[in-house]
Amino acid sequence: MPRIHPTATVDGSVRLADDVVIGPYCVVEADVEIGPGTELLSHVVVRRFTTLGEGNRVDPFCVFGGLPQDLHFDPATETHLRIGDHNVFRESVTISRATKPGGATVVGSHTYWMVNSHAGHDTTIEDRAVLVNCVAIGGHATVHQRAILSGNSHVHQFVWIGEMAITQGLTGVAMHVPPYTMVANISNLIGLNRVGLQRAPDITEEDRRQIKEAYRATYRSGRTPAEALAEMDRWTDMTPAAAKFREFVRKVIHAEGRYKRGLCAPRDKRRH
């Protein structure tokens, strides 16, 4: 049987795995599902249309599935927040549900959210991403797997943060960040995430060499992004890791609508 503290308020329709723990003064609304091994420590609010998978740990004062911070959103619209497995949410994390009918804000698995971090409506936070204290992610943004957003970093709406990218503290990101790179200040790309690439157990020496070549083609050759992409398309036998950099560039070049934001670049080499 789930362990529910007597001071908690849990709607009778909530679907709970047998070993879920719901601590003091938590509130769990209707249309919620919580998977095995998940624990809400205390004072956690899980709002309608939220799903939490297995083995999540949720510290006090987190709010999941809150209404989107969108002035045009109708609260009667059924939208969702879907959270995967084995995530850690420290104190006061907030994640909004989506805006479009049937849509979902999505959090993967094995992510780590530090104090006061926030993800807005319609965002996607992929596996093993880390959000440090007071990170704020705008609506419709995507943070790809193993990215690290350092303290007080803010991500603009409709921005993509590439795999294993990292921001310095107090960074504002308003343009797309390629995989494996570092960003500081306001969308100022300052190089590759060399430490992350060196430490990643699945990144080989050949991967690192090819990623460096792709980075040079994009940022140090004098080419436009389209020209750099054409050059990379002529390369043969790209490793899957290096190909992720190339395909991210391609996606940015062909982005449409509000996603057409261009690549982050050094301040003196801004390109769109």
Active-site residue list: 121-122, 139
Distance CA 233, CA 145 (A): 24
φ and ψ at 232, to 5 degrees? -65, -30
3-state secondary structure (DSSP) of residue 251: helix
Long-range contacts of 185-194 (CB under 8 A, 24+ apart): 185/267, 187/264, 187/265, 188/264, 188/266, 188/267, 189/219, 189/263, 189/264, 189/265, 189/266, 190/266, 193/164, 193/165, 193/166
Chain centroid to Cα 58, Å, comes to 17
| The pairing of beta strand 188-192 with beta strand 181-184 | antiparallel
Q: Is the dihedral of CA 133, 136, 140, 143 positive or negative?
A: negative
Q: In the block, which residue shows the tokens 């990292």?
A: 166
